[in-house]
Amino acid sequence: MEENNLQESEHFLKLRNITLSDYNDIREVMKHVYSNIGDTWHYNHIDKLLKIFPEGQVCIEDHGKLVAFALAIIVDYAEFGDDHTYQEITDNFKFTTHDPTGDVLYGIEICVHPDYQGLRLGRRLYDARKEICEHLNLRAIIAGGRMPNYNVHANQFSPREYIQRVKHKEIYDPVLSFQLNNDFHVKKILTGYMPSDFESKSYATLIQWHNIYYQEKHPVIGSNKVVIRLGVVQWQMRNVNNLDSLFENVEFFVDAISSYNADFVLFPELFNAPLMAEFNEVDMAKAIRRLAEYTERIREKFVEYALAYNINIICGSMPFYENENLFNITYLCRRDGSWDFQYKIHITPAEKTDWGMQGGDIIKIFDTDVARIGILVCYDIEFPELARILAEQEMQILFVPFATDTQNGYLRVRCCAQARAIENECYVAIAGSVGNLPKVKNMDIQYAQSAVFSPSDFAFPNDAIVAESTANTEMTLIADVDLDLLKELHTLGSVRNLRDRRKDLYKVAWK
């Protein structure tokens, strides 16, 4: 009974690869679609394409009869560039331009029988092409697109104006409108691309779709990772006898997190504050300057740990005294032995009045072996301009070491960090300290709940929280983040916070 229902239904569509036996159906579709241009595809053309690239030739059949088809080749696009004709890209239908080692899937035909043009078969064919492009790890799909309605408007608009009006949906073009709705963008206007196309006045749009999953070919060893493992230390502030005691605590966490094969470990802001107890008898401003005397030694030890435990370390932050100016500085210690730094830019009122601390004037993006990252220290996360500047440099993960003494202070950091993840389409990891330091003024109480946040869309956790710690408890947090999900979000997200910015109206710039 079920089989009979299928046979009796109006349509029974199937997507598949073309075979040579489909040629008569191909000719019939072309006869209806290209009545003003003439016959294009001969038997020997289809035969050649099926011999050199059978997986690239796809069609849709209805009850066994081909009703739509798409043809493609692979090219080394650098050999042609953006100025080429249809005859050149196909080598006058000889297809010697097909290169299995090329980087671009070039669409040379897509055709739907007029009786089926309300069923969105073209979208199915485009989706099939995208799957082929992704499966073969090609950089992009490129094609020359017709503008069949341009002849109606040629006396009113230039090709450029026509394209803009189609983009803004003031004019409908059956080919260009369809391509734009399928995530293609116009690279340029081609002249003389297909001289026989009188409907388009011999103009064409050079269209492109980027494969966001494209991976450049790398050696098997040392190739780029997609899933990155983050380790976050929710640090217990406790009294220590000396610097060696602090190092023992630090090494314990580095060792523990690296044993999970983590790529990064993040420590909190001013995690070394317990050492200030040694200077408790002097005023707060002098005590923190004495603490700054340890900073370079601590950084050197972190570099050793990064090498020894094969992990990238964000060293929380520490006071740094330079040219009679006191800064709050964080270090990135990479597992290759290199290191870099980031100053805290915005200084809180208490840091100014109690310590005489100053803000830095440099913002950086950091390249690591697995991801492009940024670091903002505590209060800096509450200023959205900084994260936006880093996002414009393709930051993937933002690390935020913080220190807060009250729940409302913590919630400012947390809520702003979550906002930065959403508006900049990146992951944000925050790490804070817990516990008490009775002998250290201005750092005596702590409140924290460390976490890793994501953007908010279908591919991510429903609450946009990848992982979070138990509040006010010393612990570690291990979380995996997928960088490919960010690529997909930038292009295909429900909303596209980075892509949809009105740069024609406003911008954020570092002076």
pLDDT in tens, 220-250: 555 678 899 999 999 999 888 899 999 999 9
Has residue 204 got a pLDDT over 50?
Answer: yes
122 neighbors 68 (Cβ within 8 angstroms): yes
CATH code assigned to 230-492:
3.60.110.10
Are residues 231 and 265 in contact, defined by beta-carbon separation less than 8 angstroms?
A: yes
**pLDDT over 70 (residue 4):** no
Neighbour-count burial of 242, counting CB atoms closer than 10 A to its CB (0-12 exposed, 13-18 middle, 19+ buried)? exposed
Mean pLDDT, range 260-282, rounded to an integer = 90
Q: Is the dihedral of CA 258, 264, 266, 272 positive or negative?
A: positive
Banded pLDDT at 2 (limits 50, 70, 90):
very low
Closest CA to 383 of 230, 233, 510: 510
Percent of the chain whose predicted confidence (pLDDT) is above 70 = 96
Is 378 noted as a catalytic residue in this protein? yes
Quote the CA–CA distance of 135 and 501 in Å, as a whole number: 31
- Picking from 267, 298, 289, 453, the residue whose alpha carbon sits closest to that of residue 378 is 267
In terms of DSSP bridges, do strands 397-401 and 427-431 run parallel, antiparallel, or are they unpaired? parallel
HSE, side-chain direction, 13 A CA sphere, residue 272: 31
Q: Which residue among 61, 269, 278, 351 is the active-site one?
A: 269
What percent of the chain is modeled with pLDDT above 90?
Answer: 79
CA 99 to chain centre: 29
- How confident is the model over 124-143, as pLDDT tens digits? 999 999 999 999 999 999 99
pLDDT at 276: 86
What's the mean pLDDT in 246-266?
96
> Does the pLDDT at position 6 exceed 50?
no
Mean pLDDT of 44-66: 96
Domain limits, the chain: 10-210, 230-492
What are phi and psi for residue 234, nearest 5 degrees?
-90, 100
Among residues 59, 61, 133, 344, which one is catalytic?
A: 344
What is 10-210's CATH number, 3.20.20.70, 3.30.420.10, 3.90.220.20, 3.40.630.30? 3.40.630.30
pLDDT tens-digit map of 328-372: 999 999 999 999 999 999 999 999 999 999 999 999 999 999 999
95, pLDDT greater than 60? yes
CA distance linking residue 272 with residue 176, whole number of Å: 61
Task: Given the residues 111, 315, 378, 416, select the one marked as catalytic.
Answer: 378
Per the CB < 8 A criterion, the answer to whether 333 and 302 are in contact is: yes
Which tens digits make up the pLDDT trace of 284-331? Answer: 899 999 999 999 999 999 999 999 999 999 999 999 999 999 999 999
Q: What is the mean pLDDT of residues 173-195?
A: 89
Q: Output b/e per residue, 162-196; b: 16+ Cβ within 10 A.
A: bbebbeeeebebebbebbbebebebeebbeebbee
Mean pLDDT of 382-390: 97
**Using the 8-state DSSP alphabet, how is residue 276 labeled?**
G
CA 58 to CA 53: how far, in whole Å? 11
pLDDT tens digit string along 411-428? 999 999 999 999 999 999
Taking residues 215-219, what's their average pLDDT? Answer: 70
Given a cut of 60, whether residue 3 has pLDDT beyond it is: no
Is 503 one of the annotated active-site residues of the chain?
no
Per-residue model confidence (pLDDT) at position 10: 84
List, for residues 496-508, the tens digit of each pLDDT value.
Answer: 999 899 999 999 9
